[in-house]
Structure 1
Amino acid sequence: MDLARRVWLILLLASGNGLLAADEAAKPPAHAKSAPEFRLPAPDGGTFELSPQSTAPFTVICFLGTECPLARLYGPRLAELHRAFGPRGVRFVGINSNSQDSPDEVAAYVREYAIPFPVVKDPGQKVADLFGARRSPEVYVVDRQLTVRYHGRVDDQYQPGVARSQPGREDLRLALEDLLAGRPIQVASTDFTGCLIGRSRQAVAGQHVTFCKQVSRILNQHCVECHRPGEIGPFSLTQYDDVTGWGETLLESIDAGRMPPWHASPDHGHFANARHMPEADKQVLRDWVAGGMPLGDESELPSSAESLAGSQLMRTPDLVVDMRDRPFRVPATGTVEYQYFVVDPGFTEDRWISAAQVLPGNRAVVHHCIVFIRPPDGTGLRGVGLLTGYVPGQRNAELKPGRARRVPAGSKLVFQMHYTPNGTEQSDLTRIALNWMPAKEVTHQVYSLVAIEQEFEIPPQTAGFPVHARVRRLPPQGELLAITPHMHVRGQSFQAFSRRSGKEEVLLDVPRYDFNWQHAYQLTTPLDLSTIDSLEFTAKFDNSSRNPANPDPAEFVTWGDQTWEEMALAFFEVSEPLSRDGVGQPSPRPVAATVAKPAPEQDRAAEINAFAADFLDRFDRDRNGIVERTETPLVFRTYGFREIDANGDGGLTRDEVEAAARQRKPR
C-alpha cells in the first residue's frame, strides 16, 4: 500500500471516534516521567508552549539538528508522520538546541526538508537540559498531563554506519497508534542513536590547548579533507564556531573507532594511505573539549587545508570521460543499490594510462566509485581490468615512472557507483580524468589480480562463517602494490596472506570490515612476488541477529550482486616488468593449490559435473549449451568471466566450466 493510501486509511479510521479514543487512552505506567513546561519563540513570531492547557491530546517533541545525518534522514519521515497523525489531533514540534546552528540555518533546514510543523530554537540548551535530551533526533511523546508516554527513536531504519532499505519497526508510529486507540504502548522506550546535541561550554581559565594552536592542525590533517563544504562529510570542521558544537560528537566518533575511517589492524603490514590518528592527537582533542574548547590566539591559525576538488593529476588530463550522458538521480532516503554505467572513451589504439582519477560530480552523495576496463571480446588483458577508484578524502597513489595500466583499443569503461542518500533528492554526474604515456616509455604494466570464491552458502543466524580464496596465477616477476577486499553488509572480517616455502605471512588484517568504506590498502613497501608461492585470503561473515546491518538473519545467503546477497573477493594490484614485445612476461605461474584432504576420484568428478550442470542451468538462458558474457551478472562479467573463458571467444562451454572447476577443486 503506498503512502497516500495509508494516510487516507488513517484519516478514515480517525473520523468519528479518534479523539474519544485518545481521551480514554490507557493510563501511563506508574514510573512514567513528567515533561517540563516551557515556552519558546516560534518562527512565525508567535510562541510555542508546552503546558497542561494544551488542547492537543498528545504532543510529539523531536530534538533536531540541521547538519546531523540522522536528523536529515528523519526530517522527511517526521513530516510524513505529521501528515498522518496531525489530522487526528497529534501536535508536532521540532526543537533545535545546537549551539552551532543559527536561526537562519534552522529556517533553511525547514525549507529543504519541507517540515510542516514548527521548529523552534532553544538558546543555551535550556529546554534540552530540562528534558535531559542528549541527541538529535531524540523523540518524546507527551500527553495533556505532561506525562512522557514514549521516549526514543523514530524507527530502526538508520543508525551510524547502517542504512536498511526499510524500517523493521516503526516505533513512533506504533506508539501513536496505541495511544490514539486507548491501548497501552507495547514499547514505550527504545534505544536511540544520533548526534550529540552541541552544548555551549565555558572555557577553563589557563587552558593551554586551544583551537588555533593545536586542534585546527589536527583537524586539517585527519578530518577536514571530508568535513568541509561540498564534501561528503555531513558537517564542516573548518570554523571554530562549527567545531565547538561538534566537539563531543567528534570525540565519540573517534573513540568508537568510526573516524577517521580506517580498518586495517596496525599489527600487520604498513600502508602508505593509512588514516590512523595517533593517540597523542586524540588526547589533545579530549583535553580541549574538557577545557571548554577555547579559541586561543587567531594569529596561530594554520593556512586552510588544500582542497581535493577537481583534478589532482600531475598534469592536465589527456581525456575526461563522463559516466553517462545525463546525471543520475539519487533519492532522498533509503538505500541505493550499486549502479553500473558503461561508457565508450573512443580509444582506437591501445592506451597506457599513467594516471587516473575519479572526479565525483556530487561529493555529498558519492560514497565510492570503482572504474573497470571492459575490453572487446577476444582481446587479451592482464588481470580483471580494474582501472582506478574513489573513496572520500583519499588520494590515488602516484604510479612510479615507467609504470602504467593498459587499456586495449575499443575498450569500454564501467563505472561502479555507490551512493548514500542525505535526506534530499540529489543528482550526480561523475567523471574520470586520464593521463597516458607512449608505449615505448612503459617499463612495467600495472594491473589487478583477483582472488574470488562464489561457491558458498552462509547458514542463518551464523557469525564468523569463513570463506577462503586464492589468486589462481601469479606473474613470474613483479611486485604487489595494494590489496582491496570486497564483501557486502554481512562482511565481518578479512585477512590476506602470502605463502612462501610453506610459511604463511599476514599481509593485511581487517578485524572489523565495514561495507561503507571500500579501501584500497596501499603497501608502503611493495612485496616482491618472485619467491611468493600464493596470495590468499580468508573472509568471515556475520549472518546473525547481532549484525545491525543484516537484512535478514533468517536467510541462507549465497553469492550475488545485490547487497542483501554476498561476495567474497579481493583485488591484488601488481606491477610486472614488460617483455620486449610490450605485453608482459610470457606466462604467469600457476599457483599450487593449498593442501586439501584427498577425495575419491569418482566423488571429485561428480562434484565437478554437478557444478558445471548447475552453472549452465542458471546462466544459459537460450539453452544453446554456451553461456554468453551477456547472460551472466555484471559483477561476474567483470571479476570472473575472463578467468573461465580459456579461448577468449566471449562464451563459456561446459568443457571450460569443468576445467575451471578442476582447478578450484584440487585432488
Structure 2
Amino acid sequence: MTLFCPARVPVPLVPSLLLPLLLLAAPAPAASDLPPQKVDDFHLLDQNGLSRDLYRQKLSKAVVIVITGNGCPIARQSLPELQSLRKEFASRGVTFWMLNANPQDDPESIRKEAAEFQVDFPVLLDHGQWVAESLGVRRTAEAIAINPRDWTIFYRGAIDDRLGYGEQKPKADHRYLADALGEFLGGKPVSTPRTDVKGCAITFPPAGTVTYTKDVAPILQAHCVACHSPGNIGPFTFPNYDKVKGWSATIREVLLEHRMPPWPADPSHGAFENPRVLTETETRTLLQWVAAGSPRGEGEDPLAAHPPAAPDPWPLGKPDVIVSMPTEFNVSATGVIPYQYFKIPSPLPEDAWVRAAVVKPGNRKVLHHALIFVNYPEALKSIEPKQNAGTAGFFTGFVPGTDPVPFPEGTGKFLPKGTEFIFQIHYAPTGKPEKDLTQIGLYLLPAKPQWELRTRAVTQTELLIAPGASNHVAQASYKFRKEAVLHDMSPHMHVRGASFKYEMLYPDGRRETLLSVPRWDFGWQSLYRLKQPLKIPAGSELVCSGTFDNSAANPSNPDPAAWVIFGEQTTDEMFIGYYDIAVPPQEATARPARKEKPAPDEPQK
C-alpha cells in the first residue's frame, strides 16, 4: 500500500534562529492528513444487507465516501448538504456512500438512525473498522473523494465550513467537497485537495504486539491450513513462517475484500452449523500483524512443527459402496463440451438407506460440476424423488466450494434394489487433453431412519437478462402442502449471479429471511446447514429471490453485450434454490407412477 506524499513545494529560507520557533509553532499533521494515496478494494454490507464493493464502481465518474456515526451532531447536520450534493452530482456519474465504523453502533441501531433521519444513502457497516483504519479515518463527517480510474484520493476533508464544535454558520463560506467535485469532473486540478475535519472522534482499540508464533499461526491452523496445504484446494500452502510472511500482502487483500474465508452469507440472517468465518478479533489480529511488518516472534514455528495430515481421498472415511463411471472419459483440450450422462446400475443387492453420498471428482481440473440422479424401478416410480434434470432436485452432487458432509442426523436417502444411477457431468477444458473417472461413495445406514431426506429445488427457468443490466431480478417460490423439516439450503447461479435470498412466508403472515447471500461467488457454492432445523407448517411458502449483474462492472461477466437465458453452459444462467427437507419415509410399495418429466435418460457416452 502506497502512502500519500504531498507534492514538494518551495520553502523560503529563514534565519536559523527562527527555525526552531517555526518548528515548535507548526502543528503536527493529523493521522487523517496522511491518507493512503491509492485506496485498496474492499467489500462491506450496507444497512439493508446489500453488497458494496469499491472496485465494482469502476463505471462511476467519482466515488464519495462520507464517514458517519449514530448520534454525532455534526454528521447529522451534514445530511442536508450531502443530499444536495448528491442531487447536484449524481446525474454526472458520482456515487455517494456513507460509512459507519463506530464500534458502539450495531446494524439494527444504524438502520434505525438512517430511518429516523431519512437517510437513503447506502450506509456501509464497518464494525470491524478495518476499512476505516486502512483509510486512516479518525473522525466522522469526513468526506473522501476517489477517482475510479486509478482509485486515488483527489479530495479529503470537510464537506464545507458551515459546522463546528458547538457552533454553525447560517451558510457555508466554502463548499469544499462541491468545489473539488466540480474541478475534478471538469478536468481541472483540485485546488484544495485537503481540509481539516470537525466531527466526532471514532474509538479504535489500542494496537497490541502481534506475532506469528503467538497470535497468527493459531488462527491459520484453525481456519486456513485445512485448505492451504499440499493436496488440498488452496492454490498455495502455509507450511511455515517464511511462506506465510511471503503471502502477507495477499492475506490483507483477501480479508479487506471478504474473499477469504469463503463464506458469503450475511451474518444478520440464520445460524448455521458449518460457517467458514473469522471473528472480528481474529481478522483484526491478522491485519495488525501485516501492518506491523509480519513479525515472527519467539519459539518454534507452529505450522512447521505440526503439519496437517495428508488429505484423505474419502474425507468421511472409506465408503461401504463405491459407484464409478464405467470407463475414463476423454476431455478434449478446447471447445464447449455438452453435458455428459453416464448410466450405472446400482450394485446394492437389496433395498438400502444411506447416511451420506459423496462425489469424488476424478480430475478436479476439468470437472466443473456433477449431479447424480436416481431412476427407481418402474414399480416404485410413484415414490421416486423429483429431479427433472436438476431443476427439481438430485440425489447427490459436487459443485465448486462444497465440502463433503453426511446427511443430517436421523435422516437418510432411500435406494431401492434395482436403482439406476445417472451421472450428469459438466466438463470445462483446460487447453490440453485430460481424463476423468468420477465416483460416488455410499455410506449405509443399518436400518430405516426416522426421516427421509429429499433434495428439492425452487427454480426460475424463464430468464431473459438484457445486455448491460446491472440488477436483473429473478424470483421463484414453492408452497408446502404438508409439514416438513428444513435442514439445508444451497443456491445455484452462474457467473452473472449477484445475490440470492431464501425467505419463508408463514400461514400467519410472518416473513422470515432464512439465508441471504448478498455477493454471489460462483467459485464457492456453499451448503448452508441450519444449526437448528426449521419446522415448516403446511401452507408455508418458500420464496427465493435474487439478482444478476450483466454489466461491465461485473469482473466475471464473459460478455456484457449478450442477452442471457437459462441454460446449461456457464455463459448461460441458472436460478435454482436447492434445499433439503426431512419427511416421513414412504413405504416402498408399488403404486401408479405420477406424471412428471423423468430424470435425464441420455445414452451413455
TM-score (norm 1): 0.52
Residue aligning to 1:494? 500
CA contact (8 A) 1:480 1:529 kept: yes
Which of 431, 440, 444 pairs up with 1:432? Answer: 440
For 1:470 and 1:393, the matched residues in 2 are separated by: 25
Q: Does 1:647 align with 2:591?
A: no
Letter matched to residue 215 of structure 1: V
Q: Secondary structure at the match of 2:537?
A: coil
Q: Deviations over 1:538-571 (max 9, x none)?
A: 1211122222222322232222111222111111
Q: Paired residue for 1:210?
A: 211
Equivalents in 2 of 1:393, 1:651: separation in Å?
A: 25
Shift of residue 473, structure 1, vs aligned partner? 4.3
* Alpha-carbon offset, residue 480 of structure 1: 0.2
| Structure 1 segment 211-610 matched on structure 2, within 5 A | 211-299=212-300, 301=302, 303-313=306-316, 316-326=318-328, 328-329=330-331, 331=333, 340-363=341-364, 369-376=370-377, 379=381, 380-384=383-387, 386-390=394-398, 395-417=403-425, 427-438=435-446, 440-471=447-478, 473-474=480-481, 476-500=482-506, 501-530=508-537, 533-578=540-585, 581=587
- Give unpaired runs (5+ residues) of structure 2: 1-149, 151-206, 388-392, 601-605
Deviation (angstroms), 1:427: 4.2
Question: 2-side partners of 1:207 and 1:334: how far apart?
Answer: 54
Residue 229 of structure 1 deviates from its aligned partner by: 1.4
Tell me, in whole angstroms, the C-alpha distance in 2 between the residues paired with 1:334 and 1:357. 29
Change (3 A) 1:423 1:447: same
Contact 2:337 2:427 (C-alpha < 8 Å) held by counterparts: yes
Moved more, 490-499 or 456-465: 456-465
Distance of 2:269 and 2:537 partners within structure 1: 21
- Partner in structure 2 of residue 640 of structure 1: none
Q: Is the 8 A contact 2:480 2:539 kept in 1?
A: no
Pair 424,217 (structure 1): closer, same or farther in 2 beyond 3 Å: farther
Shift of 1:308: 4.1
* Separation in 1, partners of 2:346, 2:555: 41
Structure 1 range deviating more: 459-468 or 349-358: 349-358
Q: Which amino acid aligns with 2:223?
A: H
SS in 2 for 1:441: coil
State the shift of 1:509 in Å.
0.6
Q: Distance in 1 between the 2:435 and 2:599 partners?
A: 37
Does the CA contact (< 8 Å) of 1:446 and 1:574 recur in 2? yes
Q: 1:207 to 1:459 in 2, by over 3 A?
A: closer
Provide the rounded CA distance (Å) in 2 between the counterparts of 1:278 and 1:502: 35
Corresponding letter in the other structure for 2:486: L
Q: Could you tell me how far 1:513 is from its partner in structure 2?
A: 0.9
Q: Secondary structure at the match of 2:564?
A: coil
After superposition, residues 52-71 of structure 1 pair within 5 angstroms as none
One-letter amino acid of the structure 2 residue matched with residue 433 of structure 1? G
Query: 1:647 is aligned with what amino acid?
Result: K
Contact 1:464/1:541 (8 A) holds in 2: yes
Per-residue deviation, 1:526: 0.7
Return the offset for 1:422: 7.3
SS at match of 1:528: strand
TM-score, normalization by structure 2: 0.57
Once residues 310 and 277 of structure 1 are traced to their aligned partners in structure 2, the CA distance between those partners, rounded to angstroms, is 27
Map of 2:101 onto structure 1: none
Cα contact 2:410–2:450 (8 A) shared by 1: yes
Contact 1:328 1:429 survives alignment (8 Å):
no
**SS, match of residue 395 in structure 2:** strand
Query: Does the Cα contact within 8 Å between 1:224 and 1:236 map onto a contact in 2?
Result: yes
Shift of the 257–290 alpha-carbon distance from structure 1 to 2, 3 Å rule, reads same
Per the TM alignment, residue 345 of structure 1 is displaced from its structure 2 partner at its CA by 3.1
Per the TM alignment, residue 426 of structure 1 is displaced from its structure 2 partner at its CA by 5.3
Cα distance in 2 between the residues matched to 1:650 and 1:371: 14
Give the residue type in structure 1 aligned to 2:418.
G
Aligned residues: 385
The separation in 1 between residues aligned to 2:341 and 2:309, in whole angstroms, is 31
**CA root-mean-square deviation:** 3.5
1:410–1:297 Cα change, 3 Å: farther
The whole-number CA distance in structure 2 between the counterparts of 1:301 and 1:651 is 51
For 1:295 and 1:365, the matched residues in 2 are separated by 39
Post-superposition offset of 1:309: 2.3
After superposition, the Cα gap between the structure-2 partners of 1:210 and 1:543, relative to the gap in structure 1 and judged at 3 Å, is: same
Corresponding residue SS for 1:313: coil
**CA–CA separation in structure 2 for the residues paired with 1:387 and 1:505:** 28
Structure 1 residue ranges without an equivalent (≥5): 1-151, 153-205, 587-644, 653-667
For 1:418 and 1:210, the matched residues in 2 are separated by 45
On the 8 A contact 1:383/1:450 being kept in 2, the answer is no
Secondary structure in structure 2 of the residue aligned to 1:270: coil
- Of all paired residues, the percent bearing the same amino acid is 36
Larger fraction in helix: 1
User: Shift of the alpha carbon at 1:324?
Assistant: 4.3
In structure 2, the CA distance between the partners of 1:292 and 1:548, relative to structure 1 (3 Å rule), is closer
Where relative contact order (Cα < 8 A, 6+ residues apart) is larger, the structure is 2
Partner SS for 2:263? coil
Q: Is the 8 A contact 1:480 1:528 kept in 2?
A: yes
CA distance 1:297–1:448, change in 2 (3 Å): same
Q: For 1:336 and 1:518, how far apart are their aligned partners in 2?
A: 22
Residue by residue over 1:113-147, the C-alpha shift from the partner in whole angstroms, topping out at 9 and shown as x without a partner, is: xxxxxxxxxxxxxxxxxxxxxxxxxxxxxxxxxxx
CA distance in 2, matches of 1:424, 1:516: 22
Task: Identify the range of structure 1 (382-391 vs 232-241) with the bigger mean alpha-carbon deviation.
Answer: 382-391
Cα distance in structure 1, aligned partners of 2:496 and 2:565: 11
